[in-house]
Each structure stands twice: as C-alpha cells, then as structure tokens.
Amino acid sequence: MTTTQRNAFFDDSGSSDSIMQLRDITVSFDMDSGESRVVDHANLDLQRNEILGIVGESGSGKSMLASSMMDAIEDPGRLRGSVTYNPQSGEPAEVLEMSGSELKEFRWDTVSMVFQGAMSSFNPTLSIRRHFVETLDAHDYNVSEGMAYAEDLLSDLYLDPDRVLDSYPHELSGGMSQRALIALSMILDPEVLIMDEPTAALDLLMQRSIISLINDLKEKYDLTIALITHDLPLIAELVDRVAVMYAFDLIEVGPVEDVLTGSIHPYTRMLLKATPDVDSPVEDMRPIEGDMPDPLNVPDGCAFHPRCPMADEQCVEVDPRAYEANTEHAAKCHYWDEVDKQIPMSQETSSMDTFAESSVSAEHRTWTEHDDPVIELDDVKVHFEKEESGFRLFSSPPTVKAVDGVSLDIYERDVTVMLGESGCGKTTLGKAAVGLQRPTGGSINYYGDSESGDPVDIWQVRDSDSEDGIKWGEIRKSLQIIHQDPGSALNPHRRVSTLLEDPLKRWQPDMDGHDRRARVLGLIEHCGMTPPESYIDRYPHQLSGGEQQRMAIIRAMLMNPEVILADEPVSALDVSLRVEMMDLMIQLQEEFDTSYFYVSHDMANARYITEKTGGRIGILYLGKLVEVGPPEQIVHNPRHPYTKALRWATPKLQAEDTEIQGDTPLRSIDIPDPEDPPSGCPFHTRCPAAREVCKEEMPGSYAGSEDSGHEVSCFRAVEDHEYWDSEPLGEDGDLPDVFIQN
Amino acid sequence: MSEAPPTEESDVSSPFEITSDIEETRGEKLRKQYDTYVHTPVSIIWSDWRARIGASILLIYLLMALLGPVMLDPVRTGAGGRFVQPFQTWEFPLGTDGVGRDLFAMTVHSTRPMLIMMFSGAITTIAIGTGAGAVAGYRGGWVDNVVSTITDIFINIPGYPLIMTLSLLLPITGNPVLIGILISIMAWGGLSRKMRSQVLTLRNESFVEASRSIGQPSRLIIFKDILPHLMPYAMINLASTARRIIFTAAGLYFLGILPYGDPNWGVMLNRSYQAGAFYRPEAMHWFLIPCIAIIGIGVSLVLLSQSLDRVFNPRVRARHEKRTESSSPMEEL
C-alpha cells in the first residue's frame, strides 16, 4: 500500500481528516462448502463530525461492516484488514491489533454502538438504571457524575429521567427503549457513534422524531455518526454522505443529494425506483428482478451484473474499480457515465424495455361509489379486559379498547387500506372483519352474493349453525388472511404441496389427488415461480421470503375468497421486492375478483396500492377511524391533524432542501396509554390544533372534501362549529407549518 | 366461480379449472414414500456417530430378541456345573449360575419379553401423554380443565405402590405387553403436562391461524399442524421413557413384585443377590451379566436419542432427502 490512492471511498494521501479508516476489510465464515464472505475487501473513510449513511438491503453485509469497526465480529467469523482510528490529538491507533484491555477502553469510550431492536438489547431482569451503572462501573468511571450526565442525556431525548431509569425494559414502549439505548451508548461520551437501524422497528412518527433528535445530539455532543439502514428516504435529510452496499462490498459513495438525484450506479438507481415513495408518480416504480447473491457464490466480475440492464461482457469479466464523477462522488461501475441516460429517475425518456416492467397497467383509477358492499362493519368494538389477580371491589377491570366503534363498508373488488401506528388496533380490526376475532360489540355483516339479499351477522351464523340461509362454511371460505411474516405463516414441517392442497382437500373433497396437484402447480406457475415442479416439494425454509409470501397468497386464493385480510404483507420483505409483491396482489385481484383489506403502517405503500386500484385509505388512531378517503385526498389534502402528522413523518425521496423539516408537529411524541384513553377526541392530547371542546366531545364523521368518499372525524372540517370559538389547549402561537401547507 | 380471461399458459378458462393430464405412476409414488419414511431417517441417524453406535447396539438386542429363542434351547437347571466361569467354554459362553443354568441362554431368552415391555410401555406413554397434552393445550376451556385434572391426579399418585397394587389385582400374569402398559401409567402424566405447555405457545402461531381461517376442524389442526412440532420432543422422551421402563421393570423384578414366566434380567439380579454374589467371587458374574445387559440397552437408547429429534427437523430432512435437491448452500447455515 505504498501508492497513495485517493478517491471518494477512501483517501490514503494523508491530507484528509478522517476519524476512522477501514481498509480491505473482509469478514468471512468457513463453511463446509467453501469460504463465505459477508464483507469483501471493503474500503471506507469516516470523516470527522459527519453523518455517514450506510445503505443496503438485508443480507448485504452492512451490520457486519459496522461490527468490524469495533472489532466485534464473533466466532466463527474472521475479520481481516485494518481499522485505524485517528484521534484529534495523538497517534493513530490500529484497532485490530489492540490488546484486550485497550480494546475494552476503545469500545464504548471512543466508539460506541446503538443496536437494532432495543427491546432485545436490554437485559430484561435489570432496571435501566442498573444498565447505566454497570457500564460506568465496567469502565471505572465515577458513577454519580456519570448518572447525572445520563439524566441530562435522557432529558435531551425527551424522556423523563426518573421514570425511565426506574423502569424495567419491558415497561417501556419501543420508542422509549430505543431512545434509552441511545442514551446508554452515549454515556461515556464517545467520539464515534455507530447506529445499526435505530428506527427499524418503530412507528412512522417515532422514526421521524428520533431522526431529528439524532441531528441535535450530533451538534450538541460533537459526534461522528455512522448510520446503517435499509431505508434510504428516511435518512435523506439527516446524513451528509451516503455509502451504498451491495453484495458485501461498497459500490457507491457520495454526498446525499448527489446520490439521491444523480446516482452513477445502476443498483442505487433501481433501488430508489423500487422504493414506493409518497411523492413520485406511481408509474415510475419498478421492481428489481433477481435476488441478492449468496455469500458463497458471488458472481465474478461486477457482482450486480446478473440483474443489471446495462451489463455486458466487460461487466461479466472485470470487477469494476472505483470510478469518480468528482472528488466526492464515486461508484464501482464501468458505465457510470451512461447510467443517467440508461436508467432515468423519471419516465420521460425511457429505454426501459430491458427493465422489469410492472406487469400491471399503471393507469390511475379513481375511487367511485360502489353499490353493494361485501362486508359491512357496523360499529365494531373489540375490548380486551386485562387479566388481574386480586380483588376489585368497586371499579371495573382495566380494559384495552383495541377497536372502539368503527363502521366501514368493504366493496367488491376494492382495496381498503387501514393505516396507523402500532397499537392503533388495525390488525385487531382486520381480524374481526374476516372472522378470526370475535368483536365484543357491534356486528360484522356479510352480504355474499347479491342475490341472497339481506346481510347476516357472521358471528350469529357461527353460533347458531342453522341450515337455512348462508352457512358458516361459506362465510369461512370467503374470508381469508395473509400474514405479515410468511416464515411463520407456513408450517415449517410441511411441504408446499401439502400446505397448498389443504384448502382443496377441505372444500373440494371430490377432486382427486392428481387434479389437486395440477391445480396447485398451475397456480404456482401463474405467480411467476417456474418450473413449478421444483417448488412443490420444497419445505418453506427452502424458499426465499418473497416466494414464501407468494405461497401464502396462493393458499388464500385457492378458496376464491371475497375478502382477504392482508396484514402488512410486504413489510417483512426487502425493499426491492415490495413493489413486485404489491403488483402481484393487484394482478391476482383482477383475475380472481377479490377485495383486499390491507393493513399497513407505511403511507407510501398504502398510497401505491390504492392509487393503482382506485381504493381508499383509512386512518386509525387508538381504535377509532379518524379519516377515510381516496389516496389523492389523504396524501395531498389531508384534513385530520393526525393524518397531516403522518404525512409529515413519511420520508420523501426528493427533499427540496435537505434540511430537517422542523420539529415534530405534535405536542408529545408518545402515544397515550391504551388502558386510559383520552376523553372526547382521542387525539386531543397530542394535537397542536386541539381546543377545549375537543376534550369533551368526540367528533362525528364529516365530509372532508367534495369527493364523496372522503370523510374526516375532526371539528375543523365543519365551518361553523363551536370549535372555532373554543380555547386552544396547546401553547399560544402559530400552528406548525405542516398544518398550513400541504 | 369467477370468469377470468384466458391465460397464456393453459387452455382452460382460469387456473382454477386446471385438471391433471399426468398420472403419477405407482412406482414413483412408492419411491417417494420409501425416500420419506425409510431412506431419510436412516440417513439422518447414520450421519451422527453417536446415533450410529446406539443404533448398532440396539440392532444387536433386536437380533437377540428375534433369533434367540429360535436358535437356543430353553433354559433348564442343571445343564452344566454350578458357577462355571464366563469365557471358559463354548458350551456356556457366559458361564452358569448357582443351579447350573446357562447364563447366556437366560440373557438371550429374556431379551424378547424385556424389549416388548419396553416398546409397549414407551409407545403407550408417548401416545397418551402427547394426545392428552395436545388436546388440553389446544382446546382450552373445560376440556383443558378436565384433562389437566386427570393428569394431575396421575402425577400425584405414587407410582411404584400403584404399580405394585395393580399388578396384584389385575390378571396380568407375566404378559410383557400388559406389564409395559402398567408401568406406563406412572409415566404419562409428566409428559402430558410438558406437551400441553408446548402446545400453548404453538397455538398462537400464524400458521395455526391460517389453518383456522381455511376452516380446518380442530382435530386436523392438532394432527397436521401441531403434532409435527411436538415430534422432536416426543422422540427424545421416547428414548428416556424406554430407559425408565426397563429400569423400573428390572427393579420391580428385583424386588420380586412382578409376576414372570422364565427368569429374566431382573429376576437374575434378585437370585444372584440372594445367593450372595456380592461377596462370593465365583458368583459375581451371575450378577454382572444381567447388569451389563440392562446398562447396554440404556446406553444405546441414550445415544440414539441424540439423533432422533433431528429426524423430524425439516431442515435436516431436506438435506438428506433425494426428493428435493437443495440448490442453495445457504441452507447449511
């Protein structure tokens, strides 16, 4: 390494101010069938006081790269290469050659890490205070000073220090425990903070809030941050530079605006186009064909060439070096200068015939009033009583009102999306709608075929088991479910053939074995998995995530149901597969005439699927439906303050200015305790536009706009209502910008 | 059924209406079944060296059980001299006991009833324990209450006194199958409880909910979805239950409680003990040989159980099967 190389990835010329330098990092595992490299000769510099985003899909090696910065690769993995730390003053230190005690001091004191999944990163038997105290003790710090510092940190993160420190991890919500984990990682005042998907399991609003907090922390505590994520739009406003990982190596590095709008690597471009985004037109979204390569079996030459529309012989044979567009932006692609023409970010000049075309015709359908619903939800309530030990003499036991009076109609061939954060009751509502959860109040009325006339309450049919009219069997057959995690929705002990033949055996007992098998093979092929014979004898663990989810969809479709509850069906899949899966669902809907009751927490996905099918989006908050309407209205003209907040929180790709768009427009970050819901309008505790009357009365359902399907449950939608004369609950001052603009 | 436009792949009006053109031949079907039920389990067991040893030892016992009574003469007293030492003559390879009976012949002849006892007891225990636990765990409600109460009763009744009493009261008369079932009475309770708690967690899995939404009746859900998950645990329990039954049976014979026909291992232990084998060196072999016989089968079952749970693990099965070629090396992780 005597030549001083310099490119955007790394700089050995000695003139840059990088706080950490990674050179030739390779992480490998020895398997029976060869050496499996999960990081393959990666080089990267981390500049002082910057926020670097490391972006890649699951399985691309980014967590391993992060762990290698702290020399934290566990056996049987092996780490080779060099990691150099350059302190502000003093000698550079080679991390991989540190002794045990030096490494112990280095970790957490100089470089610290925030892990993914805060719920499982805390020891469930210790209180949060013990975690802090143990960490301070282990590094021989003064405990009382350290704890005072911890309390400062926790307040900066909008947590109540006393309450949080005395709690156990399971008593904190996801957002709170993630923030507590961030505080724990900063307790020793590190220089570098590595964050591994800090917001992965969190809700939209919480994600957004934490992202803006990170920027504040960096300024106040003088940190350098490396942020690992699969969600590029989320960090677009936060990071300074972005490094993209594919197939275990870094393939592009550059400033975030350049990479987002003018990327010079085909993978980054295709990834951005495959990510549903709230603002870009629906026609521009394209899935990426193929799969990420296996670490044992990385293709020669450029690792991306099997999936790249621009690949040619040079790509197959020669592994590209880093080509620079300018001193700060480089990518490993032979044809980096042609990427702009070949893969445009918008559709105007499109030579995308070699591209995976979205197989569904991409016209907009607008929502029109349908005649007959298939299912009618009539004031559905699902209340759970908490089990308690001990006596309760006077008051009733605490109930969690998961669903609190929702009325909705689901029509034929419709897509209705229930959008909301975790804990708002959308999954419970969905399961009640398809007959898997008994409601404690209200009814679910099934119409079935239009000829039979009156609707029937499905649970009455279930209980009475009468012979005339619609039978429970027919209802059961028409209401199906697709689960969120396909890995657990398919019984791992059974083969695909038995799993898919189950519904046929149950409902069509006259079919003989050969016909069943042929039917299943036909549907497997129809969903894009060829040759079907090789799939049918597999166990679920031999299928990829996307294939598993398709099998689950086929299983539901085999009964030709009227309504399918799709419970976040794409959130467990890689980003590049989501558009493809939603397109498949849309295509199947057109062929088999089903309706989807789609549950999601992601507004971009909701908008994608409803715009393509002319569906509706409904927003749920604490068990109540606060707004419902077609996507054009919900996304571009939201009327309810909560919808506006969700819209603000949804990451956008083309941020006009990459500044953080202001602070959270809500008065408090955390959702109220579901056992003790607020009176009147449930949102009044957090709504910046709330007034006294909102505390007392629950708003009814008012028209949101001229669109007949757009309804909103907020007093602000009514022109003359006592709301406008009432006293505001929040501080005086203007409403946040997001409420004024759209 | 809905009308769908014709698709390109098939010439039927919708994928719903495809029927088969191919008949799967009987030969293919048999081949697949052989692969699933014979070849794969054997291959899995053979791949682990401990299970290999265990299976081989068990095989020896099985051969003794099957062929022994056929090939050897029945035992009679005074066949040879008293206390002939082992490994001296071919006529009495393991020596004789205090009344001149051939120890080798006695050991071999008693293998068959002991093994029958072991298998019948183990299978009964596993069947009742798993069945009761699965039903109680899945159905919940009053079914759970009733079954759990019965289970608790059986757990709490002292095992040995119960068996002793029942063996006197019931007309068992040395039938090994019935003795095995009798011994299993005290063993199934604990297993049922453990199975019930396994089922309680399995009940909430997504695939069970999917089966419910398909409309499967409860018994099919228990049988097809839940039972395969319980199998690994049941297999391990099978081996340990079998050991317990052998030890219990030998112990009870040693105590002289159970009825018997010809002398078996436990009875041999008793007789040799009575004859003072512990302090008479020439009689020591009379005690040790049935000991080794019992220990041998215990060890073989322990070794075998290391591998038995893997037989039901789909990832391991997939690797050993010929039916599905696992193309992705990632499965080895």
Q: What is the pLDDT of residues B144-196, one digit of tens each?
A: 999 999 999 999 998 888 888 888 888 777 788 888 888 888 889 889 999 99
For residue B112, what is the enclosing H or E element? helix B103-139
Q: How confident is the model at residue B1 (pLDDT cuts 50, 70, 90)?
A: very low
pTM for the structure as a whole? 0.79
pLDDT attached to residue A451 = 55
For residue A77, what is the enclosing H or E element? strand A77-85
DSSP code at position A225: E
Contact in structure between A316 and A301 (CB atoms under 8 Å): yes
DSSP code at position A158: T
Query: Residue A663 pLDDT more than 70?
Result: no
Query: Residue A520 pLDDT more than 80?
Result: yes
Q: How confident is the model at residue A660 (pLDDT cuts 50, 70, 90)?
A: very low
Q: Which of A544-553, B69-78, B110-119 has the lowest mean pLDDT?
A: B69-78
- Min Cα distance B35 → chain A (Å) is 13
Contact in structure between A538 and A548 (CB atoms under 8 Å): no
pLDDT attached to residue A289 = 75
Q: What percent of chain B has pLDDT over 70?
A: 89
A539, A549, A558: which to substitute to probe chain B, counting the most B Cβ within 10 Å?
A539
Displacement of CA B216 from its chain's centroid (Å)? 30
Q: What percent of chain B has pLDDT over 90?
A: 20
Average pLDDT of span B85-111: 83
The three-class DSSP label of residue B136 is helix
Give the range with max mean pLDDT: A133-147, A468-482, A530-544: A133-147
The larger pLDDT score, comparing residue B291 to residue A531, is at B291
Residues in chain B: 333
- Rounded to 5 degrees, what are φ and ψ at A688? -70, -15
Secondary structure E strands in A590-737: 595-600, 616-621, 624-629, 702-703, 711-712
**Cβ separation A493–B24 shorter than 8 A:** no
Burial (CB count <10 Å: 0-12, 13-18, 19+), residue A106: middle
Q: How confident is the model at residue B235 (pLDDT cuts 50, 70, 90)?
A: confident
**Cβ separation B16–A494 shorter than 8 A:** no
Distance CA B333, CA B329 (A): 8
Average pLDDT of span B74-86: 78
Residues of B in contact with A532 (CB under 8 A): none
User: What are the structure tokens assigned to A344, written together?
Assistant: 């445009």
Residues of B in contact with A552 (CB under 8 A): 210
pLDDT attached to residue A126 = 92
Q: Other C-beta atoms within 10 Å of A502: how many? A: 23
Q: How confident is the model at residue A393 (pLDDT cuts 50, 70, 90)?
A: low
Distance CA A718, CA A444 (A): 30
The larger pLDDT score, comparing residue B31 to residue B151, is at B151
**A628 - beta bridge partners?**
A618, A711
Distance CA A78, CA A30 (A): 9
For residue A695, what is the enclosing H or E element? helix A692-696
Q: What percent of chain A has pLDDT over 70?
A: 89
**Cβ separation A541–B317 shorter than 8 A:** no
Q: Which of A170-179, A724-733, B115-124, B235-244 has the lowest mean pLDDT?
A: A724-733
Cα–Cα distances (Å) from A95 to A1, A103, A227, B98, in that order, read 18, 7, 20, 76
Contact in structure between B245 and B183 (CB atoms under 8 Å): yes
A32, A491, A584: which to substitute to probe chain B, counting the most B Cβ within 10 Å?
A491
DSSP code at position A524: H
**Helices B284-308 and B103-139, axial angle in degrees (round to 10):** 30
Candidate from B9, B207, B212 with C-beta closest to A489:
B207
Could you tell me where the DSSP H helices lie in B16-72? 26-34, 40-46, 49-71
Query: Residue B333 pLDDT more than 70?
Result: no
- Min Cα distance B225 → chain A (Å) is 7
- Min Cα distance A541 → chain B (Å) is 7
B26, B207, B213: which to substitute to probe chain A, counting the most A Cβ within 10 Å?
B213
**Cβ separation B20–A515 shorter than 8 A:** yes
Q: How confident is the model at residue A619 (pLDDT cuts 50, 70, 90)?
A: very high
Contact in structure between A549 and A509 (CB atoms under 8 Å): no
Cα–Cα distances (Å) from B129 to A733, B148, B238, in that order, read 69, 11, 11
B9, B214, B327: which to substitute to probe chain A, counting the most A Cβ within 10 Å?
B214
The three-class DSSP label of residue B130 is helix
Secondary structure E strands in A472-593: 479-482, 563-567
Burial (CB count <10 Å: 0-12, 13-18, 19+), residue A720: exposed
- Rounded to 5 degrees, what are φ and ψ at A623? 80, 5
Contact in structure between A351 and A357 (CB atoms under 8 Å): no
Query: Residue A558 pLDDT more than 50?
Result: yes
Residue of A nearest to B217 (CA): A506
Interface pTM, i.e. ipTM: 0.77
User: What are the structure tokens assigned to A703, written together?
Assistant: 């028209």
The three-class DSSP label of residue A42 is strand
Proportion of chain A in helix, strand, coil states, percent, rounded to 5: 35, 20, 45
**Cβ separation A480–B213 shorter than 8 A:** yes
Amino acid at B88: Q
- Chains A, B: CB contacts within 8 A come to 128
The larger pLDDT score, comparing residue B7 to residue A163, is at A163
- Min Cα distance B201 → chain A (Å) is 13
The larger pLDDT score, comparing residue B263 to residue B218, is at B218
Contact in structure between A8 and A253 (CB atoms under 8 Å): yes
- Rounded to 5 degrees, what are φ and ψ at A394? -115, -40
Average pLDDT over chain A reads 82
Residue of A nearest to B14 (CA): A591
Which candidate, A235, A286, A63, places its Cα nearest to that of A658?
A235
**Cβ separation A526–B24 shorter than 8 A:** no
Q: How confident is the model at residue B143 (pLDDT cuts 50, 70, 90)?
A: very high
Residues of B in contact with A479 (CB under 8 A): 213
Query: Residue A412 pLDDT more than 70?
Result: yes
**Pairing status of strand A329-331 against strand A111-114:** unpaired
The three-class DSSP label of residue A618 is strand
Residue of B nearest to A564 (CA): B213
**Cβ separation B215–A517 shorter than 8 A:** no
**Cβ separation A435–B213 shorter than 8 A:** yes
- Min Cα distance B227 → chain A (Å) is 10
pLDDT attached to residue A339 = 79
Q: Which of A169-173, A639-643, A655-659 has the lowest mean pLDDT?
A: A655-659
Q: How confident is the model at residue A388 (pLDDT cuts 50, 70, 90)?
A: low
Distance CA B154, CA B184 (A): 11
Residues of B in contact with A525 (CB under 8 A): 9
User: Cα torsion at A462, A465, A470, A471 (round to 10°)?
Assistant: 80
Angle at A667 between CA A664 and CA A673, to 5 degrees: 110
Average pLDDT of span A574-585: 85
Q: How confident is the model at residue A3 (pLDDT cuts 50, 70, 90)?
A: very low
pLDDT attached to residue A372 = 75
Residue of B nearest to A493 (CA): B314
Candidate from A506, A539, A540 with C-beta closest to B214:
A506
Distance CA B217, CA B197 (A): 21
Residues in chain A: 742
- Rounded to 5 degrees, what are φ and ψ at A194? -105, 125
The three-class DSSP label of residue A533 is helix
Contact in structure between B291 and B269 (CB atoms under 8 Å): yes
Which candidate, A101, A103, A111, A89, places its Cα nearest to that of A21?
A111
Residues of B in contact with A33 (CB under 8 A): 329, 332
Residues of B in contact with A492 (CB under 8 A): 314
Q: Which residues contact A693 (CB under 8 A, 6 or more apart)?
A: A680, A715, A722, A723, A726
**Helices B176-184 and B103-139, axial angle in degrees (round to 10):** 40
